[in-house]
Copies of this chain bind each other. A is one copy, B any other.
Amino acid sequence: MSLQLYDLAGAEPERRFSPYCWRTKLALAHKGLAVETIPWRFTDKDVIAFSGQGRVPVLVDGDRVVSDSWSIATYLEEAYADRSSLFGGPAGKALARFVNSWADNVVAPGITPLVLMDIYAHLHEKDRAYFRQTRENRFGMKLEAVSADRDTRVVPFRQSLEPMRVMLAAQPFFAGDTPNYADYIVFGCFQWSRCISEFQLLTADDPVAAWRARLLGAFDGLARDALGYAV
């Protein structure tokens, strides 16, 4: 049974920039599962109405429909239990949830103001008004104001990665010697930026950049070869 993934796309169908969809695509690759990705835009709510909600990723596996990146990862771990584990056991899964929360509450919000206008610039025309309105409501200001002063704001963002940097001095991946879903969670945030922005989130000598490079090369360069910027 072939798998299908509804995957956020920009104006160009091959520009796939959702951090959450990247988590899922790397999880599928980790499990060795081929997937057909279907480009989807923010305003294509009707296209995924069958999933009972309005956001991607949405995974279709035969007659199973799963949305939300964390739910998809736990679904894949159970449905394909005979394949390489995404979590390395119950404790690993529970701690991956903390990494998920850290990525969603520290890493992603740190990146958002740095790349928000770049996202906007890459959106399909039909998504622009929706994106501007929903994000300006969320932030209480114009997109342009959210994205101001990014050369200054990148400094505390880089500082916020210090827990990761200290960990990477002792091991190459969150999961140890080889990556697992915890790595894909955080990597998705960086890949999001890479797909739509030339902005340098990391300095070249940052251990986080070396970790990102290792994951860009994973699964025969799945993330590296995606349409984006070589930053």
Residues of A that sit less than 8 Å from B by CB: 85, 87-102, 104-106, 162-164, 166-167, 170-171, 173-177, 180, 182
**Neighbour of A175 across the interface among B85, B87, B95, B164, CB < 8 A:** B95
Q: Is the interface of A mostly helix, strand, loop or mixed?
A: helix
Contact B101 A167 (CB under 8 A): yes
Contact A94 B173 (CB under 8 A): yes
What residue in chain B is nearest A186 (Cβ atoms)? B98
Residues of B within 8 A of A176 (CB): 90-91, 93-94
A166 to B100, CA, bound (A): 9
Residues of B within 8 A of A182 (CB): 91, 95, 98
In the complex with contacts A95-B92, A95-B95, A104-B175 CB distance below 8 A: no
What residue in chain B is nearest A70 (Cβ atoms)? B170
Residues of B within 8 A of A92 (CB): 88-89, 91-92, 95
Residues of B within 8 A of A104 (CB): 163, 166
Contact B105 A166 (CB under 8 A): yes
Shortest beta-carbon distance from A87 to chain B in Å: 7
A2 to B177, CA, bound (A): 35
Shortest beta-carbon distance from A80 to chain B in Å: 17
In the complex with contacts A88-B91, A92-B95, A176-B91, A102-B171 CB distance below 8 A: no
Shortest beta-carbon distance from A100 to chain B in Å: 8
In the complex with contacts A95-B95, A95-B174, A96-B95, A162-B105 CB distance below 8 A: yes
**Neighbour of A163 across the interface among B106, B167, B170, CB < 8 A:** B106
Residues of B within 8 A of A177 (CB): 90
Shortest beta-carbon distance from A99 to chain B in Å: 7
Shortest beta-carbon distance from A109 to chain B in Å: 10
What residue in chain B is nearest A182 (Cβ atoms)? B95
A166 to B102, CA, bound (A): 9
Q: List 28 A-B contacts (CB under 8 A).
A: A87-B91, A88-B89, A89-B89, A90-B176, A90-B177, A91-B91, A91-B95, A91-B175, A91-B176, A91-B180, A91-B182, A93-B176, A94-B171, A94-B173, A94-B175, A95-B175, A95-B182, A98-B99, A98-B164, A98-B167, A98-B182, A100-B167, A101-B163, A101-B164, A102-B102, A102-B163, A104-B166, A105-B162
